[in-house]
Amino acid sequence: MSDLVGDARAWSPDAQEAVRLLAVSALVEGRDRAEAAALFKVSARAVDNWWVKWQAGGRDALLSRARGRRVGEHHVLSEAEQAAVRHACSITSRPTWDFRVNCGRGGRQVS
């Protein structure tokens, strides 16, 4: 049966949701978990997980949800810190930098 199991993570969120709902529907209609897993080409463990979620939260527990971080959560610097960096970059000119840049092997140095 392992040759029947696909990787549902590669499917679109809508396709994943549809398979979750259909697999649980198959269980409700009396099919066993192995039969439902083979029918939808997913693992029996996935079917078990969906069944538990469905029993705990109904249809809503099987619906797709937004994934990943919300907009703005990935920023390392706060808004105030970002503004300070933008300001420093806008007023700083190359001659005031306090370091030297080596432009590669045998290249010139810029200060």
pLDDT of residue 84: 85
pLDDT tens profile 72-108: 667 778 888 888 888 877 765 555 556 665 555 554 5
Among residues 5, 50, 60, which one has the least CA distance to residue 25?
50
DSSP state of 70: P
∠ CA 10-76-78 to the nearest 5 degrees? Answer: 130
Which H or E run includes 109? strand 109-110
Residues forming a β-bridge with 109: 102
Query: Is the CA virtual torsion 27, 33, 38, 44 positive or negative?
Result: positive
In this prediction the pTM is: 0.54
